[in-house]
Structure 1
């Protein structure tokens, strides 16, 4: 009996050593020591990450088997930091150093160059839903490729159509990324600032005004929404799903589960005779 109890105890200890352990810390500015809100923190490529809160505080759960893996800490306007999970566990309070944000080259043009106002992307708001963002996946993103019809194009606003959601209020970030040579999103952000919005989540469109940024583009781009915070989610979690349609048009959808996770492509073409989901994200533009 004693031998059985000892064996069971050792087994429990082994299991406990393998399960997720929490790291709790704070991210601050290296010059002012002020808290940095909504910083992305995650194990690169492992789908294990989170986002700091408004006061720069974060909690990152990890398995001890991953202690040698690289953690990336990043925020717009700051040089990203890479360190091992073991280093972060030893020094959980980290600082980021400000750096200049490289902006895309913009040519000054007369107002006459922008002759029309219209939309780019899928404007439908059908109840059919595709990718979701869940309350336990802070830093999770979903987005779609937006193709320009003319160049240059000035971005006026971005719209995200919600098909269904759990009750509550969320804080999210609007991201616009440069596309790589293969058409997938890169880490390069095109917006010159963090566009952070807090809104009740209800069925229908959420419109974000981007006109103040005067962003003029000469390239297709990737438009995404990133979950930063969910106020008082239900004990069993909460989520919201985005409207979608099916078609043969190119409207590539990519998603990642949390901060620093790899982008994955959504496709159901094998099941729908080549038809692809079209995420109901779009932008109003002048071109």
Structure 2
């Protein structure tokens, strides 16, 4: 009779303990600059390559649920103009850390010389759209990002970026907030950021081409790169922190047959390639 009773108590103990370990861990906090302790807006926070991530809000605040299977992973904080910081999740939970400081990154400007000849304005990318092809940014009630990229082949020609363009259709919101990212091309996918300069756009949207003026950023390049359109979370919905959600924009973006569409749906997540159609987006450059 002893062994069955012992087994019963062990089973009861396990049923009480295991659910506690099976719960998600909720991380909350604010990301600040180490220098002046100012909040850093829209920081990408996530487990690299595992599609678990979030984006801080305009005040640097964030929350993120970590499933038990990823409790021993490392959380990375990435912001334009700052050095990345990676911390073990177990350490964050153990120390009950809620403030995260990032160190400003010293940046060296790479000079690109535009030759002293009559400059030409060119459009590079996909300048047309097929009415039967589109992708969708869903209202997933998420606090994370949606980002898709367009390959821009400059072919080693010195170029000044004047405008970025993307075809949007059927938006159900008046305005959207997104960030333009420029990535080095690496084995057919976006690699490291090329420009440590924040290009943040909050703009009204409607059917048709959305044109973004880039002249004030003085972006000069000559290497092939990926141009990323990173749609950021919308405003928070009122409620307790543990239940707050974000209203992501709802819209569709145009496409054209040929090539491949590359996107990701999580901060620092894995890029996904879908062959057969490419994003209707291009840049206007001066060469």
Please give the TM-score of this superposition, normalised by the length of structure 1: 0.82
User: 1:282–1:69: structure 2 CA closer, same or farther, 3 Å change rule?
Assistant: same
- Unmatched runs of 5 consecutive residues or more in structure 2: 1-10, 238-244
Shift of residue 67 of structure 1?
1.6
Shift of residue 197 of structure 1?
0.9
Cα distance in 1 for partners of 2:64, 2:194 equals 24
Is the partner of 2:216 in helix, strand or coil?
helix
Equivalent in the alignment of 1:80: 84
| Stretch moving more, 96-105 or 22-31 | 96-105
Shift of residue 105 of structure 1?
3.3
Equivalent in the alignment of 1:246: 257
Equivalent in the alignment of 1:167: 173
Equivalent in the alignment of 2:7: none
**1:138 aligns with one of 133, 141, 144:** 144
Shift of residue 188 of structure 1?
2.3
Is the partner of 1:212 in helix, strand or coil?
helix
Shift of residue 237 of structure 1?
6.3
Shift of residue 12 of structure 1?
8.4
Equivalent in the alignment of 1:107: 113
The answer on whether the counterparts of 1:145 and 1:252 sit within 8 Å (CA) in structure 2 is: no
- Unmatched runs of 5 consecutive residues or more in structure 1: 1-6, 268-275
User: 1:150–1:260: structure 2 CA closer, same or farther, 3 Å change rule?
Assistant: closer
Q: Count the aligned residue pairs.
A: 268
Question: Does structure 1 residue 286 correspond to structure 2 residue 279?
Answer: no
Cα distance in 2 for partners of 1:200, 1:245 equals 24
The answer on whether the counterparts of 2:27 and 2:65 sit within 8 Å (CA) in structure 1 is: yes
Please provide the CA RMSD for this pair: 2.8
Shift of residue 215 of structure 1?
1.9
The answer on whether the counterparts of 1:76 and 1:101 sit within 8 Å (CA) in structure 2 is: no
Q: Which has the larger radius of gyration?
A: 2
Is the partner of 1:65 in helix, strand or coil?
helix
The answer on whether the counterparts of 1:178 and 1:188 sit within 8 Å (CA) in structure 2 is: yes
How do residues 1-287 of structure 1 correspond to structure 2 at under 5 angstroms?
Answer: 14-15=18-19, 17-89=21-93, 90=95, 91-107=97-113, 109-110=115-116, 112-114=117-119, 116-127=120-131, 128-130=133-135, 132=137, 134=139, 136=142, 138-148=144-154, 151-180=157-186, 182-190=187-195, 192-231=196-235, 239-247=250-258, 251-267=259-275, 276-287=276-287
